[in-house]
Structure 1
Amino acid sequence: MRTTNLIVSILALCMISISYGQRRKKSIEEPQQELISQTPKLVVGIVVDQMRYDYLTRFWGQYGNGGFKRMVNEGFNAKNNHFNYAPTSTGPGHTSVYTGTTPSMHGIIGNNWYDKATDKEVYCAGDDSYSSVGTTSDAGKMSPHRMLTTTITDQLRLHTQQRGKVIGVALKDRGAILPAGHSANAAYWFEGGETGNWITSSYYMDELPQWVEDFNTSNIVEAYKKPWNTLKPIETYVESGLDVNNYEGLQKGESTNAFPHDFPTIWGQNGQFDLLRRSPYGNSITADFALAALEGEELGQDAITDFLAISFSSTDYVGHFYGVNSKEVEDTYIRLDQDLARIFSALDEKVGEGEYTVFLTADHAAINVPSYLKDQKIPAGYLDMKGIGEKFDDFLQYKYGTTDVVKNLSNYQVFLDHKILTNLDIDIVIAQEEIAQELLSYEGIGQVYTGHQMWANDYTQGIPYILQNGYNQKRSGDVLIVPDPGYISYSRTGSTHGSPQIYDTHVPLLLFGKGVKQGSTVNRTEIPDIAPTIATLLGIAFPNGTTGQPIGEVLEFK
Structure 2
Amino acid sequence: MKKLVLVLGLAILSVSCKSQNETAVITQKTSISQDNPKLVIGIVVDQMRYDYLTRFYNKFGEGGFKRMMNEGFNCKNNHYNYTPTYTGPGHASIYTGTTPKYHGIIANNWYDKELKEKVYCAGDETMNSVGTEDKSGQMSPHRMRTTSFADENRLFTQMRGKTIGISIKDRGAILPAGHTANAAYWFQGKDEGNWITSSFYRNDLPSWVTSFNTSDVAESYLKTWDTFYDIDTYTESGSDLNTFEGGFKGKETATFPYDLKALSKENKGFDILKATAYGNSLTTDFAIAAIDGEQLGQDAYTDVLTVSYSSTDYVGHNFGVNSKEIQDTYIRLDHDLERLINALDAQVGKGEYTLFLTSDHGAIEVPSYLESVKIPAGYVDNKMRKKRLNAFMTETYGASDLIESVSNYQIFLNREKLDSLHLDLETVQKRIVNEVITYPNVDKAYTATTMSSAYFSDGIEELLQNGFNQRRSGDVIIVDDPSYISYSRTGSTHGSGLNYDTHVPLLFYGKGISKGSTFQKTRIVDIAPTISALLGISFPNGAIGLPLEFVLKE
- Shorter-chain TM-score range: over 0.9
Task: Single out whichever of 213-222 and 30-39 deviates more from structure 2.
Answer: 30-39
User: Does 1:403 find its partner at 2:411?
Assistant: no
Q: Which moved more, 1:250-259 or 1:238-247?
A: 250-259
Q: Partners in 2 of 1:479 and 1:240 — Cα distance?
A: 39
Q: Does 1:154 align with 2:151?
A: yes
After TM superposition, the structure 1 stretch with the greater mean CA deviation from structure 2, 396-405 or 102-111, is 396-405
Instruction: State the alpha-carbon separation in 2 of the partners of residues 188 and 315 from structure 1.
Output: 18
Provide the C-alpha distance between the structure 2 equivalents of 1:43 and 1:265, rounded to a whole number of angstroms: 39
Does the alignment pair 1:361 with 2:358?
A: yes
- Matching of residues 42-191 of structure 1 within 5 Å: 42-191=39-188
> What is the CA-CA distance between 1:36 and the residue it aligns to?
6.1
How far, CA to CA, are the matches of 1:519 and 1:152 in structure 2? 24
What is residue 327 of structure 1 aligned with on the other side? 324
* Cα deviation code 1:226-263 (max 9, x no counterpart): 01100000011001000000000031100111110111
Provide, for residues 452-504 of structure 1, a one-character-per-residue CA deviation record: whole Å limited to 9, x for no partner: 11011111110010000000010000000111000000000000001111111
Equivalent residue in structure 2 for 1:272, among 269, 273, 276: 269
The aligned residue for residue 367 of structure 2 is: 370
Taking the aligned partners of 1:225 and 1:112, their CA distance within structure 2 comes to: 31
Q: What letter matches 2:112 in structure 1?
A: D
Report the CA distance between 1:422 and its aligned residue. Answer: 2.1
Partner SS for 2:225:
coil
CA distance in 1, matches of 2:159, 2:101: 28
Cα deviation, 1:395-417, whole Å, max 9, x if unaligned, reads 11111111211111000000011
User: Which aligned pairs between 1:187-206 and structure 2 lie closer than 5 A?
Assistant: 187-206=184-203
Residue 337 of structure 2 aligns with an amino acid whose one-letter code is L
Letter in 2 for 1:355: E
Alignment equivalent of 2:415, drawn from 395, 411, 418? 418
Residue 57 of structure 1: SS of its match in structure 2? helix
The superposition leaves residues 85-141 of structure 1 with CA deviations (integer Å, 9 ceiling, x where unpaired) of 111000000000000000000000000000001000000000011100000110100
Please state whether the residue corresponding to 1:267 is helix, strand or coil.
helix
2-side partners of 1:183 and 1:470: how far apart? 25
Match in the other structure for 1:18 = none
Please tell me the residue identity of whatever aligns with 1:317.
Y
Counterpart CA distance in 2 for 1:447 and 1:504 is: 18
Structure 1 CA distance for aligned equivalents of residues 437 and 234 of structure 2: 42
Percent identical: 59
How far apart, CA to CA, are the structure 2 residues paired with 1:324 and 1:114? 30
User: Matched residues in 2 for 1:31 and 1:123: separation?
Assistant: 50
Paired residue secondary structure (2:95): helix
The aligned runs of 1:226-237 (5 Å cut-off) are 226-237=223-234
Q: What stretches of structure 1 move > 3 A for 4+ residues in a row?
A: 30-38
How far is 1:157 from its partner?
A: 0.3
Partner of 1:40: 37
Matched residue SS, 1:45:
strand
Who wins on radius of gyration, i.e. which is larger?
Answer: 1
Q: Partner residue of 2:439?
A: 442
Cα RMSD, aligned residues only: 1.5
Could you tell me how far apart the structure 2 residues matched to 1:274 and 1:515 are?
39
Question: Secondary structure in 2 aligned to 1:139?
Answer: helix
In structure 2, distance between residues paired with 1:263 and 1:310: 24
In structure 1, distance between residues paired with 2:192 and 2:455: 50
Measured in 2, the distance between the counterparts of 1:471 and 1:93 equals 14
Q: For the residues of structure 2 that align with 1:382 and 1:244, how far apart are their CA atoms?
A: 22
Q: Letter of the 2:467 partner, please give it.
A: G
Unmatched tracts of structure 1, length 5 or more: 1-27
Question: Could you report, residue by residue, the CA deviation over 1:165-200 in whole angstroms, capped at 9, with x for unpaired residues?
Answer: 000000000000000000000000000110100000
> How far does the alpha carbon of each residue in 1:368-414 deviate from its partner, in whole angstroms, 9 at most, with x for none?
00000000000000001111111111111111111211111000000
Aligned equivalent of 2:511, options 510, 514, 530? 514
Deviations along 1:59-81, one digit per CA (max 9) or x if unpaired, are 00000000000001110000110
Residue correspondence of structure 1 range 243-392 to structure 2 within 5 A: 243-392=240-389
What SS does the aligned partner of 2:135 have? Answer: coil
- State the distance in 1 between where 2:203 and 2:418 align: 48
The two structures have a TM-score, normalised by structure 2, of 0.94
Aligned-pair CA distance for 1:224: 0.3
Query: What is the CA–CA distance in structure 1 between the aligned matches of 2:217 and 2:231, rounded to whole Å?
Result: 27
Q: Could you say what secondary structure the match of 1:499 adopts?
A: coil
Deviations for 1:435-457, whole angstroms, at most 9, x for unmatched residues?
A: 01111111111111110110111
- Separation (CA, whole Å) in 2 of partners of 1:450 and 1:332: 41
Opposite residue 529 of structure 1, the aligned amino acid is D
Is 2:497 aligned against 1:500?
Answer: yes
Alignment of 1:218-229 (within 5 A): 218-229=215-226
Q: SS of 2:252's equivalent? A: coil
Report the alpha carbon displacement of residue 31 of structure 1 after superposing the two structures with TM: 8.8
The one-letter amino acid of 1:113's match is W
The CA distance in 2 between the partners of 1:135 and 1:391, in whole Å, is 45
Helix, strand or coil: the match of 1:73?
helix
Instruction: Say which SS state the counterpart of residue 252 (structure 1) adopts.
Output: coil
Question: Are residue 556 (structure 1) and residue 553 (structure 2) matched?
Answer: yes
